[in-house]
């Protein structure tokens, strides 16, 4: 595959890297301790054009292709706190793409543009206490009452949930219609009856706020329906592809960074009279891991190429072949990055088990990737189904 990056992409890379290293990373320890990060991060990312680089100019974006989002995902990991990276990626690549694709001009001006500019914080509301990977099992309802929808139910595991100004919300508008009864609403969180019922404590990604949301007879205008009623499940499946793909490139970049940092540590750290990186057992182990990392990167880039061609060049729906490859990316990257991070922790010995060292945080944070956005088991099911097994 030819090099997908132009000079403009590389200039953008330098900008994102500088933002991550100079403005985010110095605060990583404090934000991890506080279990949150300040809202100015969204605003500054919006001002720098980081959130909207791959969105059209007429909605406040930079007019770039999907490779700009890949660059962003690869460089934000230098913030050294996956929680911040996840919060920003939810804003730019998970809660907002479907607004750009389905929204009316009024919806884009009210929700999408301020989100890309960092003025309004977005969350994606899909999972529920009784429905995670089984999206069709959601119970949150939206019932038509005159010119409004009345929303009742709850959502959980919602990133940016404690501070979101709006939620791209999956609901059942017809509980008896199965997949055909699901719709997507744009839900402002200043609506009466909405509340954050609980902030959730997680194993990792501590800097990101994750919440359980509650909806009690919340009344919102019907004009906040995104796309057509009853097509929400189909829209969400299309939206998931960007989420899974950008999550893969981000997780892989973080793991590759861990490899580089571990090798540098191993050249300085001595045991039994020589650097531990000089030991053949570790040379061979890291050779294996770099090889697997490169294989995963090749798979991701090949898939991004197809995704970009379909969505940004030809502006068509994502093909089943690309959906299959995205599932393969998430599955393979999940396995590879788990092996990389676990090996890097082992390489650091007792120091790796201390909270004060970066690898402990990376080890905790990485574990989410095989769960969020569809578990590895769901990815295997999707791959086998598309292949007709």
Mean pLDDT (the chain) is 95
Lookup: tokens for 61? 């974006």
**Considering the entire predicted model, what is its pTM?**
0.94
Residues tagged active-site: 243
Of the candidates 93, 81, 219, 58, the one whose C-alpha atom is nearest the C-alpha of residue 150 is 219
Domains of the chain, each with CATH number or no CATH: 7-120 (1.10.540.10), 123-226 (2.40.110.10), 232-386 (1.20.140.10)
Distance of CA 15 to CAs 49, 54, 215, 230, 254, Å? 10, 15, 40, 41, 18
Q: Which helix (H) or strand (E) holds 210?
A: strand 210-221
The single residue listed with the structure tokens 């969350």 is 123
- 3-state SS of the chain: helix, strand, coil percent to 5? 60, 15, 25
Number of Cβ within 10 Å of residue 134's Cβ equals: 11
Measured CA to CA, the distance from residue 171 to residue 174 in angstroms comes to 9
Measured CA to CA, the distance from residue 255 to residue 250 in angstroms comes to 9
Lookup: tokens for 156? 């959980």
Q: Using an 8 Å Cβ cutoff, are 124 and 42 in contact?
A: no
Lookup: tokens for 321? 């072949």
The single residue listed with the structure tokens 């292949």 is 387
In the DSSP assignment, the letter for residue 317 is: P
Q: Using an 8 Å Cβ cutoff, are 189 and 350 in contact?
A: no
How confident is the model at residue 136, as a pLDDT? 75
Lookup: tokens for 94? 């998970």
Return per-residue pLDDT of the chain as tens, 389 residues: 678 999 999 999 999 999 999 999 999 999 999 999 999 999 999 999 999 999 999 999 999 999 999 999 999 999 999 999 999 999 999 999 999 999 999 999 999 999 999 999 999 999 998 876 677 789 999 999 999 999 999 999 999 999 999 999 999 999 888 889 999 999 999 999 999 999 999 999 999 999 999 999 999 999 999 999 999 999 998 889 999 999 999 999 999 999 999 999 999 888 888 889 889 999 999 999 999 999 999 999 999 999 999 988 888 889 999 999 999 999 999 999 999 999 999 999 999 999 889 999 999 999 999 998 889 999 999 999 999 99
Measured CA to CA, the distance from residue 50 to residue 184 in angstroms comes to 26
C-alpha 29, offset from chain centre: 21
Lookup: tokens for 204? 């990792």
Number of Cβ within 10 Å of residue 187's Cβ equals: 25
C-alpha 310, offset from chain centre: 20
In the DSSP assignment, the letter for residue 370 is: G
How confident is the model at residue 132, as a pLDDT? 66
- Give the list of residues 6+ apart from residue 291 with CB closer than 8 angstroms, or none: none
Number of Cβ within 10 Å of residue 356's Cβ equals: 8
- Each residue's pLDDT tens digit, 187-205: 999 999 999 999 999 999 9
How confident is the model at residue 315, as a pLDDT? 81
C-alpha 295, offset from chain centre: 22
């Amino acid at each position: 595959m030819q090099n997908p990056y132009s000079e403009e992409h590389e200039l953008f890379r330098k900008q994102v890297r500088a933002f991550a290293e100079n403005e985010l990373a110095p605060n990583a320890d404090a934000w991890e301790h506080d279990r949150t990060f300040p809202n100015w991060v969204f605003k500054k990312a919006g001002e720098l054009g980081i959130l909207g680089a791959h969105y059209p100019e007429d909605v406040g974006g930079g007019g770039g292709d999907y490779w700009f989002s890949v660059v962003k995902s690869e460089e934000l990991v230098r913030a050294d706190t996956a929680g911040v990276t996840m919060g920003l990626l939810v804003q730019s690549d998970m809660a907002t793409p479907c607004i750009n694709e389905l929204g009316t001009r009024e919806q884009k001006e009210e929700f999408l543009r301020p989100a890309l500019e960092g003025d309004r914080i977005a969350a994606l509301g899909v999972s529920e206490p009784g429905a995670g990977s089984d999206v069709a099992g959601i119970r949150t309802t939206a019932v038509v009452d005159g010119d409004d929808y009345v929303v009742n139910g709850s959502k959980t595991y919602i990133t940016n949930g404690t501070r979101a100004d709006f939620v791209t919300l999956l609901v059942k508008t017809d509980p008896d219609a199965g997949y055909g009864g699901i719709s997507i609403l744009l839900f402002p969180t200043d609506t009466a009856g909405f509340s954050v019922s609980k902030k959730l404590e997680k194993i990792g990604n501590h800097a990101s706020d994750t919440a359980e949301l509650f909806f009690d007879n919340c009344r919102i205008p019907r004009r906040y329906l995104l796309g057509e009623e009853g097509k929400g499940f189909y829209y969400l499946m299309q939206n998931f592809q960007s989420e899974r793909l950008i999550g893969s490139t981000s997780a892989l970049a973080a793991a590759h960074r861990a490899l580089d940092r571990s090798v540098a540590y191993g050249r300085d750290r001595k045991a039994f009279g020589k650097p531990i990186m000089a030991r053949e057992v570790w040379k061979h182990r890291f050779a294996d891991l770099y090889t697997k990392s490169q294989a995963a990167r090749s798979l991701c880039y090949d898939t991004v190429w197809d995704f970009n061609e379909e969505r940004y060049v030809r502006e068509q729906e994502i093909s089943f072949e690309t959906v299959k490859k995205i599932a393969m990316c998430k599955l393979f990257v999940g396995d590879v990055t788990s092996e990389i991070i676990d090996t890097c922790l082992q390489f650091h010995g007792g120091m790796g088990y201390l909270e004060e060292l970066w690898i402990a945080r990376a080890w905790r944070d990485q574990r989410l990737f095989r769960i969020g956005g569809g578990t590895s088991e769901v990815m295997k099911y999707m791959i086998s189904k598309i292949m007709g097994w």
